[in-house]
């Protein structure tokens, strides 16, 4: 076709869509296609008709929105699109229609308000007809008010008397913007402008609308720092909120989001949100996907979320959630994927979850779960993947799974048997590996015994190397005691005041004379243990004899006699100083600074114990005489050659036998 200037095909029965190829008719000045049966969208390519002055497409069946590209029709003076089924908002880009004088848009399905930018058209003889667009709302810019009325339309007919639904959404989004910052120098969400319609095509980044309402907010990985999520709770028509990859550190999940009755998808993954999971979110009955992985959430899993019957995907991985797995979640009949791995969840695996008929994938790795895998889980009809790895408390073996089910139980005790420990019917814990536990306990006991035996053997060897000979003399209340082989006794208790000096009388070869003055001046007795030879035990072979010259002591005073201890006593006290004496110490020594709670007694009963050192010496002397009558060899007085056990006897001693350096006095 050559150079076409005018085309009028009105009042025919033309149907079909408008040809986009007509955009090449660059000389076309007037195009009239009114009152036909044309359908389809307005071709955005017609924005190239730079010579077009008049376009009449009224009374057809055209649909779709008003193309923003038509804002390039700089020469058009009259545009009639009335009587169609056009929808959506008025394009702000049409404010560039610098020659436009008449715009007829009545009788369509347009939504929203007149864009504030259209006030640029008010300085011309601009007339606009917006009648019979019931979903239009808001107020007309004051400079355009006369133009709208001049066209014969009323505010009532156009619906402009009612506030726009998006106006409330715009208010909510602008409040959200106030709590948002960005790394970019120009700031965050710079195209979110006050008084602008967020539902105008391409006006607000990340915002999607339907029927004049905000239904989608997609700001994924936008580099935003978010300080609050609360304002979004007033987006009543919101269906998707996608904020993953932004920074919302320490921001809590708003309980007010429970009012978002149309919300189907919420993705806050890797945003750093913190706090607990709001139990009231159970009221979001349209929720299908809830993605909260990689955050700082804590607390327990809300049992009330069992009311989310449409929930299909729940991802809570890599948080700090604790507590048990709610048995009530068995009511999540639509749940297909549940990921709660890398948390601090504990307790048993709920048998009730056998009712999760739609469950396909269950990720519970890296928690503190314990107990056996319920056998009923093997009958889950849709389950294809189960991961329980890194749960050391999982035990009791695996049930027989359906073919094709992938089960991971690495780093568990699945091969160990479980022992359920309960208190008043409530499970208090799970003990794993009976044989392993008992073996460890046995090894610990044996190890402790070996340490004790080794320390005693070392102590015995030390004392045996330090053995020396000495004899007693000048003992209060008794005669000489005979020869004795002393272990190197260490001082346990010294007198509070300066003790009486002791001295060595003389030495003859291996024999040593020991003279100890009156010990009763010490007010406090020491509690010691020494090894003793019983009257029935003999002197070990190879031990030298030590001769003692008895030195009778002076008679005790009445007060001292009153304070004389009695056999079998406990710790001495000011009222009753009871004591037991040892006849001789041989072969082995013990640490005199250690108090032993239990030990053998030398005598069968307290009544058989000697009352004084004199009695002890007499008892030892009688044993010596019996031995000599039988022609025995020369032995130290008080000792027999009979074999016997070396017993331990408690002694309350007032004698300081050695100085602190351990040498003999």
Mean pLDDT over residues 39-43, rounded? Answer: 95
Cross-strand bridge partners of residue 649: 530
Mean pLDDT over residues 466-476, rounded? Answer: 37
- Top CATH class of 6-158 equals alpha beta
Give the pLDDT confidence of 491-540 residue by residue, as tens digits. Answer: 333 333 334 433 333 333 333 333 333 333 333 333 333 333 333 333 33
Mean pLDDT over residues 90-95, rounded? Answer: 87
Q: pLDDT confidence of 112, banded at 50, 70, 90?
A: confident
Burial of 208 (0-12, 13-18, 19+ CB in 10 A): middle
Buried (b) or exposed (e) across 79-100, using 16+ Cβ within 10 A?
bbbbbbebbbbbbbbbbbbeeb
Mean of the per-residue pLDDT values for the chain?
72
Q: Which is more confident, 569 or 397?
A: 397
Q: What one-character-per-residue DSSP string does 535-549 give?
A: TTSBPPTTPPP----
Burial of 553 (0-12, 13-18, 19+ CB in 10 A): middle
Structure tokens that stand for 163 in this block = 């506030």
If one counts every other C-beta atom within 10 angstroms of the C-beta of residue 518, the result is 15
Position 381 scores a pLDDT of: 95
Mean pLDDT over residues 430-448, rounded? Answer: 60
Q: Give the integer Cα–Cα distance in Å for 247 and 147.
A: 47
The H or E element containing residue 370 is strand 368-372
Q: Which is more confident, 398 or 141?
A: 398
> 398 CB contacts (<8 Å, ≥6 apart)?
373, 407, 409, 414
Domain boundaries, the chain: 6-158, 165-433, 434-465, 469-665
Common-topology check for domains 6-158 and 165-433: yes
Q: Are strands 484-486 and 468-470 parallel, antiparallel or unpaired?
A: antiparallel
Give the pLDDT confidence of 634-662 residue by residue, as tens digits. Answer: 333 433 333 333 333 333 333 333 333 33
Structure tokens that stand for 221 in this block = 């990985």
In a 13 Å sphere around the CA of 546, the CA atoms on its Cβ side amount to 27
CATH topology of domain 165-433: 3.80.10
Instruction: Please report which residue ranges of 132-268 form alpha helices under DSSP H.
Output: 145-150, 155-158, 165-178
Give the pLDDT confidence of 159-177 residue by residue, as tens digits. Answer: 455 677 778 899 999 999 9
Position 41 scores a pLDDT of: 95
For the entire predicted model, the pTM comes to 0.52
Q: Give the integer Cα–Cα distance in Å for 174 and 176.
A: 5
Q: Which is more confident, 225 or 499?
A: 225
202 CA to centre of own chain: 44
């Amino acid at each position: 076709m050559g150079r076409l200037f005018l085309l009028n095909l009105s009042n025919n029965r033309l149907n079909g869509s408008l040809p986009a190829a007509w955009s090449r008719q660059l000389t076309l000045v007037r195009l009239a296609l009114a009152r036909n049966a044309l359908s389809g969208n307005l071709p955005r390519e017609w924005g190239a008709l730079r010579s077009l002055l008049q376009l009449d497409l009224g009374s057809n069946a055209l649909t779709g929105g008003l193309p923003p590209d038509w804002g390039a029709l700089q020469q058009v003076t009259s545009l009639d699109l009335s009587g169609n089924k056009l929808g959506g908002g008025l394009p702000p880009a049409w404010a560039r229609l610098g020659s436009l004088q008449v715009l007829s848009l009545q009788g369509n399905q347009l939504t929203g308000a007149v864009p504030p930018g259209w006030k640029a058209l008010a300085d011309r003889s601009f007339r606009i007809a917006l009648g019979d667009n019931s979903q239009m709302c808001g107020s007309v810019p004051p400079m355009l008010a006369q133009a709208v009325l001049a066209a014969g339309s009323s505010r009532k007919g156009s619906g402009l008397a009612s506030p726009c639904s998006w106006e409330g959404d715009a208010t909510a989004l602008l409040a959200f913007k106030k709590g948002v910052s960005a790394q970019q120098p120009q700031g965050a969400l710079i195209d979110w402008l006050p008084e602008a319609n967020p539902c105008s095509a391409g006006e607000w980044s990340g915002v999607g609308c339907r029927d004049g309402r905000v239904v989608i907010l997609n700001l994924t990985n936008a580099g935003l720092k978010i300080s609050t999520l609360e304002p979004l709770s007033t987006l009543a028509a919101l269906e998707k909120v996608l904020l993953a990859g932004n920074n919302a550190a320490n921001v809590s999940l708003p309980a007010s989001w429970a009012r978002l009755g149309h919300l189907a998808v919420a993705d806050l993954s890797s945003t750093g949100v913190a706090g607990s999971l709001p139990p009231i979110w159970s009221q979001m009955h349209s929720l299908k996907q809830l993605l909260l992985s990689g955050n700082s959430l804590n607390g327990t899993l809300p049992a009330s979320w069992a009311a989310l019957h449409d929930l299909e995907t729940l991802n809570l991985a890599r948080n700090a959630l604790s507590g048990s797995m709610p048995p009530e979640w068995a009511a999540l009949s639509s749940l297909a994927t549940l990921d709660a791995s890398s948390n601090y969840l504990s307790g048993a695996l709920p048998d009730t979850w056998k009712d999760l008929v739609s469950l396909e994938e269950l990720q519970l790795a890296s928690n503190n779960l314990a107990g056996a895998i319920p056998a009923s889980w093997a009958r889950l009809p849709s389950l294809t993947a189960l991961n329980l790895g890194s749960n050391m408390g999982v035990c009791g073996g695996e049930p027989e799974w359906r073919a094709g089910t992938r089960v991971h139980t690495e780093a568990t005790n699945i091969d160990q048997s479980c022992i359920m420990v309960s208190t008043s019917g409530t499970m208090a814990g799970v003990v794993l590996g009976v044989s392993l536990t008992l073996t460890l306990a046995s090894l610990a006991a044996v190890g402790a015994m070996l340490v004790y035996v080794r320390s005693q053997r070392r102590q015995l060897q030390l004392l045996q190397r330090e053995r020396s000979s000495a004899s007693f003399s000048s003992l209060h209340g008794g005669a000489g005691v005979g020869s004795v082989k002393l272990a190197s006794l260490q001082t346990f208790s010294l007198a509070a005041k300066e003790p009486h000096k002791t001295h060595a009388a003389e030495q003859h070869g291996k024999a040593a004379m020991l003279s100890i003055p009156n010990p009763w001046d010490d007010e406090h007795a020491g509690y010691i243990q020494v090894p003793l030879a019983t009257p029935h035990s003999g002197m070990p072979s190879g031990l030298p004899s030590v001769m003692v010259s008895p030195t009778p002591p002076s008679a005790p005073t009445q007060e001292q006699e009153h304070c004389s201890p009695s056999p079998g006593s406990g710790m001495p006290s000011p009222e009753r100083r009871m004591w037991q004496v040892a006849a001789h110490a041989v072969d082995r020594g013990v640490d005199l600074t250690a108090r032993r709670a239990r030990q053998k007694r030398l005598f069968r009963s307290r009544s058989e114990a000697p009352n004084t050192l004199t009695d002890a010496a007499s008892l030892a002397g009688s044993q010596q005489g019996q031995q000599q009558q039988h022609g025995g060899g020369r032995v130290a007085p008080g000792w027999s050659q009979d074999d016997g056990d070396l017993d331990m006897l408690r002694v309350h001693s007032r004698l300081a036998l050695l100085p602190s350096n351990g040498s003999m006095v």
